[in-house]
Amino acid sequence: MGRTRQEDVWIEQRRQQVGELYVKGSTQSQIARELGVAQSTVSADLKAIRREWRDSRVRDFDEAVAVELKKLDHLEREAWSGWERSQQPAESTKVSQDGAGKRAERIVKQQQGDPRYLEQVHRCITGRRTLLGLDAPTRIAPTIRDRHAGDAQRSLEWGRLLPVPHQCIPHRPGQRASPAGCGYRPRDHRHPISQSVLAPMDQRRGPMAFSCFT
């Protein structure tokens, strides 16, 4: 059995009260006690209210976009009309006087058109494309600072992921490791991690190497 008109009106009024209390920060239990209904009823009302708000925002957004597009269309038509008028010949009358009396001379000047009207047309086209989302987002190339920040982040990730069974002490290439160490010295005197990850971070002082000690 469907609801009566009176029940629909009562539910609409209750949901309006639920929405007002909800936006003021009241919880579902507080709203239920305030209105004398079950919390499940408040929960169902909030679902319906959120759905209605979402649909309303979509409708309002679409209507706003349609209105702005109409404004741009009107501006563009006016700009095109102004451009056409600015291309029409300009007529003027020059009056001169001599011994025979006054004489009127009709002067016609050809015009190339006012480019400011075309600039207005271009702005209308750009605004319309922006509203409709037709332009792809602009890509920004990473800077040198971003690249160095990425090197530091990768270094921290290597330190967390790789096990370190020995104590690694940095030293300069060409320095001898302590006899008490494990003797890990690659042929190029660089630790593989320092060569691939840490070296770019220490370019001013030269690449660092590591010796491992137990």
- Inside any domain, residue 139: no
Q: Report pLDDT for 1.
A: 56
Q: Report pLDDT for 107.
A: 79
Domain total for the chain?
Answer: 2
What whole-number distance in Å separates Cα of residue 77 and Cα of residue 55?
33
165 and 194 both lie in a single domain? yes
pTM, whole model, 2 decimals? Answer: 0.45
- Inside any domain, residue 150: yes
Q: Report pLDDT for 167.
A: 47
Q: Report pLDDT for 203.
A: 46
Domain termination residue (choose one: 99, 134, 169): 134
Residue 19 has, within 13 A of its CA and on its CB side, a CA count of 13
Q: Report pLDDT for 140.
A: 67
37 and 78 both lie in a single domain? yes
91 and 154 both lie in a single domain? no
Burial of 18 (0-12, 13-18, 19+ CB in 10 A): buried
Per the structure, the complete domain to which residue 190 belongs is given by: 144-213
Domain termination residue (choose one: 85, 107, 134): 134
Phi and psi at 94, nearest 5°, equal -110, 125
Q: Report pLDDT for 4.
A: 86
Given a cut of 50, the residues of the chain with pLDDT beneath it are 161, 165-167, 178-214
CA-nearest of 208, 199, 213, 202 to 173 is 208
